[in-house]
Amino acid sequence: MRIALAQLNYHIGDFENNVARICKTISDARKKQADLVIFSELSVCGYPPRDFLEFNDFIQKSRAAVENIALECQGISAIVGAPSVNHGPKGKPLFNSAFFLADGKIRNIVHKSLLPNYDIFDEYRYFEPNHLPYCLLEYKKYRFAVTICEDLWNISDDPLYIRNPMDEISPLNPDFVINIAASPFHYDQQEIRKKILVRNAMKYKVPFFYVNHVGGQTELLFDGGSMVVDAEGDICNEMKYFEEDLQVFNLNDFLYKKGNAGPVVTRKTGKIGLIHDALVMGIREYFMKMGFKKAILGLSGGIDSAVTLVLAAQALGSDNVKAILLPSRFSSDHSIRDAEDLARNVHVPYEIIPIESAFKTFEEILSPQFKGLPFNLTEENMQARIRAVILMALSNKFGYILLNTSNKSEAAVGYGTLYGDMCGGLSVLGDLYKTQVYDLANYINREQEIIPINSIVKPPSAELRTNQKDSDSLPDYNILDKILYAYIEQHKGPADLVKDGFDETLVNRVLKMVNTTEYKRYQTPPILRVSPKAFGMGRRMPIVAKYLS
């Protein structure tokens, strides 16, 4: 028996296109003598479909799509993922299901038992967990089990769920186990995912065929990395990352001995390289799936907009990116020079549009109200918002999409201007702390100086008042980022942080900044997610609250 793993990129709700891709792939797999081709979780409708699942029309279209795909399964079988209707008298209206298709028909439907409902996941919002006992499917004399993503993940010492599907499947003695997944990327996720698969294979002594999504779904990045793990827990085949892939395996190679059917991909890049590749894919995917071609951004000469520009150029091509320098009376000469150097280095066209006349006009307009009052944060914010007006005007007139250049440190402490530098259709660096942005800049420069070294070494500044430095308002990023990581990613409280050696006054100040600026993050553009805890759907905080604030 030959098994194909089809690691494809789907467009949420685009049934026509998704079905066409799946059918084409079934046909390709058939040509490669595959007997069974496996697609990922909710492949038919795309993942995550979110509240589209509450529309009967969506569910019906999804079912019709599955039936169309089944027609393609002649002389070959397939497994696809789609929602299915709960016809029982009780429980949520849907299941998250795997459909086994053969001989032109839906032969079996298996439901997901463990529904992730944490971080960015909301599956219990829509789906009833499987309550049925597991049974094996059969094809060409082989007996196998089908599991869906989280079904394999309850293997830790502190299990999140009461049930563990593999404990029920294992006694049935399957020849192999399939897992169809939609497991989004973060910088540690590949290692975690591999460990989970290996741990299952070693514990249950059965080979696993694992198929993951690939591609971007707004903020969620799916990195692929589908794999086969043999019954001894060795990863025999690791498929491509951040790209579609189709590979066909001989089941026999994995049944009785350590498999060795294909090359194990060795990741050439470390954590920061992974982040880089994920972000480039994320930008490209957002634009492609939204039907956009061109990006615009404000280039300040600072590190954040520099890194964003390079990633955008790599994702979309230099010709499709436009940089705008928007100097004010507080911009330094070196900032403009650094920005121009960068634009030239990456061959991105740029224009300089000074904002002084607009700033003066607003000062005049507001002079009756502001008379006698000192220049303060208001005027700083005003400059940022004037820039936004200009960038959005160019965006509207020429169809550019504005890229947001804020980083996670700024977003965390509210060091940014709502409707100013916090604008944009997509936040590229919003899940990277400032110190990680530097790491990424150095990674980009690993072979040659693309980002001017001056943008990397100079003290960060918003340049919204004379001689302003970030360090006037914020602790040193090396300390700030450590506190933020401990609080946001690790959920440590103030007592833990003090125990870790951070200054108590500083800790309280930082946590208060985070917790009182939730209202700003609520209006932030979607942020490409590369960490285990990004701002956005995965971190849901009350705005009105009084906790550590």
How many angstroms separate the CA atoms of 164 and 149, rounded? 13
Shortest distance, position 49 Cβ to a second copy, whole Å: 7
Does residue 249 touch a second copy according to CB under 8 A?
no
499 binds a second copy per the rule CB under 8 A: no
Between 197 and 423, name the residue whose CB sits nearer to a second copy: 423
What is the rounded distance in angstroms from the CA atom of residue 386 to the CA atom of residue 359? Answer: 7
- What residues from 294 to 353 belong to the interface with a second copy (CB under 8 A)? 351, 353
Nearer to a second copy, 332 or 381 (CB): 381
Catalytic residue among 45, 73, 149, 423: 149
322 catalytic residue (yes or no): no
Residue 385: which H helix or E strand, with range?
helix 377-398
Nearer to a second copy, 141 or 397 (CB): 397
CA distances from 236 to 153, 250, 298 (A): 20, 12, 46
Contact positions with a second copy (CB under 8 A) in 273-292: 285-286, 289-290
CB 436 within 8 A of CB 274: no
Active-site hit among 45, 72, 73, 112: 112
Catalytic residue list contains 236 = no
The answer to whether the Cα torsion of 177, 224, 148, 156 is positive or negative is positive
User: Interface with a second copy includes 92 (CB under 8 A)?
Assistant: yes
Counting contacts by CB under 8 A, is residue 503 touching a second copy? Answer: no
What φ, ψ does residue 21 adopt, rounded to 5°? -65, -45
Q: Rounded to an integer, what distance in angstroms lies between the CA atom of residue 259 and that of residue 237?
A: 9
CB of 210 to a second copy, least distance (A): 24
| Ranges of H-type helices in 91-206 | 165-169, 189-204
Strand order in the sheet with 142-148: 137-139, 142-148, 176-180, 208-211, 227-229, 235-238
User: What secondary structure letter does DSSP report for 132?
Assistant: S
Smallest gap from Cβ 420 to a second copy, in A, equals: 9
Binding characters for a second copy, 39-58, by CB under 8 A (x = yes): -------x-xxxxx-xxxxx
Q: Three-state secondary structure along 279-312?
A: HHHHHHHHHHHHCCCCEEEECCCCHHHHHHHHHH
Backbone angles phi, psi at 178, to 5 degrees: -100, 140
Residue 389 interacts with a second copy (CB under 8 A): yes or no: yes
Q: How far is the CB of 548 from a second copy (least distance, A)?
A: 8
Q: Which residue among 124, 167, 188, 347 contacts a second copy (CB under 8 A)?
A: 124
Instruction: Output the smallest distance, CB 333 to a second copy, in A.
Output: 21
Give the range of 270-278, 332-340, 366-374, 468-476 binding a second copy by CB under 8 A.
366-374
Q: How far is the CB of 512 from a second copy (least distance, A)?
A: 12
Residues in 528-547 at the binding interface with a second copy, rule: CB under 8 A: 537, 539-547
Contact between 381 and a second copy by CB under 8 A: the answer reads yes
Secondary structure of residue 539 in the 3-state scheme: strand
Show contacts with a second copy in window 159-198 (CB under 8 A).
Answer: 159-162
Question: CB 416 → a second copy: shortest distance, Å?
Answer: 13
Q: Does 423 bind a second copy (CB under 8 A)?
A: yes
Active site residue 112: yes
- 316 Cβ neighbours under 8 A, 6+ residues apart: 283, 284, 287, 293, 294, 295
In 3D, which of 147, 206, 202, 195 has the Cα closest to residue 171?
206
Dist CA 283 CA 215 (whole Å): 10
Q: Which listed residue (133, 141, 491, 505) binds a second copy by CB under 8 A?
A: 491
Structure tokens at 104: 């032109």
Q: Does 390 bind a second copy (CB under 8 A)?
A: yes
Which residue from 24, 31, 125, 347 is in contact with a second copy, where contact means CB under 8 A?
125
Count the residues of the shown chain that bind a second copy, applying the rule CB under 8 A: 95
Active-site residue set: 41, 112, 149
